[in-house]
Amino acid sequence: MRKWRPIDEVSMRHFWVKVFAVLAMALGGGHVAVAQSPAMQGSAATVAIAPRLHFSPEEMRLAKAAASDPALAAFYGANGLKPVFTGPEGKVRRQALREAITNMPAHGISVSRYRPQALAAAGEDLAAEMMHARMLARLIHDLTGGVIDPAKAVPGVHRKVSRPSAARLMGKFVLSDDPAALLSGLAPQNRAYGALQTALQEMSALSPPTDLPRAPEAVWRLGMRGDGVLPLRERLASIGFAADSSDPRLYDEALSQAVARYQQAVGLDPDGVAGPNTIRRLNSDGVDARSRAVLIALERMRWMGDEDLEKRLVWVNIPEFTARILEGGEEVFRTRVVVGKTEADMQTPEFSDQMEYVVVNPRWNVPRSITVKEYLPKLKANRYAVSHLDVVDGNGNVVPRDNIDFARYTAANFPYRMRQKPSGDNALGLVKFIFPNNWNIYLHDTPTKYLFAERQRAYSHGCIRIGDPFDLAYQLLSQQSDDPRGVFHRALDSGRETWLHLKPNVPVHLVYFTAFPDDAGNIQYFNDIYGRDATIWSLMEKAGLDLGA
């Protein structure tokens, strides 16, 4: 049980500061008048409105109740400290909120997160007003940027979630002629999110009722007979795969065909044999690995809710080992990629940025982490090791190796950089694609082409190697030149490092979807190579997402 602690004077002062801030916002609908300097005064000067000096007891109570929540404080302050969930109009808003909550499982979010039973039992007092307002703010938060904040909780995810103002959307909700429609439109509206929702709905339809007896694990083939066939039939029939029989304990042809149809529907080999994998899936609560992948994908899409995915963009799905150019949501280019290794310090991070340059004949400025971890020990043993790289001082000058006592230095104090000249053997190949970022991640060519024949392609130090780099360059340059090949090859033939500025810049999204729709809307599944889904799933469970309801 929590111990009672007296509220100290500083905490009480902070509380009243928040209350007065709410009252200040209520002075004329959220605007506080300020005195103007003589230089600002003139024909365009704003006439200050006299502030309210008195507040009713009800308004004071509302201000106190909202003060601890910034979104509610801003909303009620701008709304003149008036309740919005009472009276006839409040009834319409309460119904719209409860309708939206009922529909949250379609987004993979549990209704329990919004306390529907408590809302249904609430009256029209201040506590009920605050409960409805808090649940509205929570629902807005969840649909417009996801339930969890990935950058704070998931290693390797540097995605900045940009959420709209909850107070502003609450204001729109109150003024809307159709508040239910306003709430239903808050989630991402792109086709990928819709396809994932459809997949989730179909998966839910393939989950038998929880009150049915489970089928014992076994291997059932044509002609076999036993009591275990009875619950197998019952569970299949409950989700639309009925197989009527005069002998329900017999595993007959009709039942085998029903099992095959079920297997095909859930992504199993449709051999018509009810083995352990089939029976486990049929006995599950619907939250298998694929369901989890879809739920996580929906959450990831909400993190990107502010991104315009209909623009021309570069889309790199890390666990798919694939990069695409999309236009209007349609694929116009695709290539295989190699991504970062599975070691924690070499994984490719997730973030979005703007691609600014195609760099032809690039020099490779070796990242310091690689220099001191991999190359410095070799140079200590043999100063002429890794001879394909130049040793460079802070001014960019090449330093003869004979002038350096490598044994003097450690990873902490090594004062030099390493750089590779442009060449076909350069670690970056003949072209790289730059979108300046804090993690020094970019797309590039590579001389090690054989790795693109592998199915699992996690071999780099974090950057993304492109299987068809010239074709990618042509596509990116095609928006600014009638002869993108000519532009590229003139720069290539020069032998010099050449930076080609992309006009306009192209959005690039490094994403991590283990479930994502293809062009036909069918969900494709990929391995969780970095184990990030497991971390996200744990956070989703704690946040109260729908894990099988």
Name the residues annotated as catalytic: 444, 463
Q: Hey, is 267 helix, strand or coil?
A: coil
- The Cα–Cα gap between 360 and 487 comes to 10
Peptide bond into 422 cis (omega under 30): no
Q: Hey, is 314 helix, strand or coil?
A: strand
- The Cα–Cα gap between 274 and 260 comes to 9
Please, what is the Cα angle at 511 between 506 and 515, to 5 degrees? 130
Backbone angles phi, psi at 502, to 5 degrees: -80, 125
- The Cα–Cα gap between 254 and 271 comes to 13
Residues 488, 473 contacting (CB under 8 angstroms): yes
Backbone angles phi, psi at 347, to 5 degrees: -70, 145
In this structure, the number of other CB atoms found within 10 A of the CB of residue 449 comes to 12
- The Cα–Cα gap between 375 and 367 comes to 11
- The Cα–Cα gap between 537 and 171 comes to 33
Helices (H) and strands (E) in the chain, counts: 19, 14
DSSP code string of 27-80: TTTS----PPPGGG-STTPPPPPPPP----HHHHHHHHHHTT-HHHHHHHHHTT
Q: Where are the beta strands (DSSP E) in 280-389?
A: 313-317, 322-327, 330-340, 351-360, 364-365
Burial 277-299 (b: 16+ CB within 10 A, else e): ebbebbbbebbbebbbbbbbbbb
Q: Hey, is 272 helix, strand or coil?
A: coil
- The Cα–Cα gap between 422 and 302 comes to 41
Cα 419 to Cα 43, 155, 372, 374, 413, distances in angstroms: 63, 29, 13, 14, 18
Output the six-digit token pair for 426. 């350069």
How many CA atoms within 13 Å lie on the side-chain side of 405? Answer: 2
Query: How long, in residues, is the chain?
Result: 549
First to last CA, the chain: 31
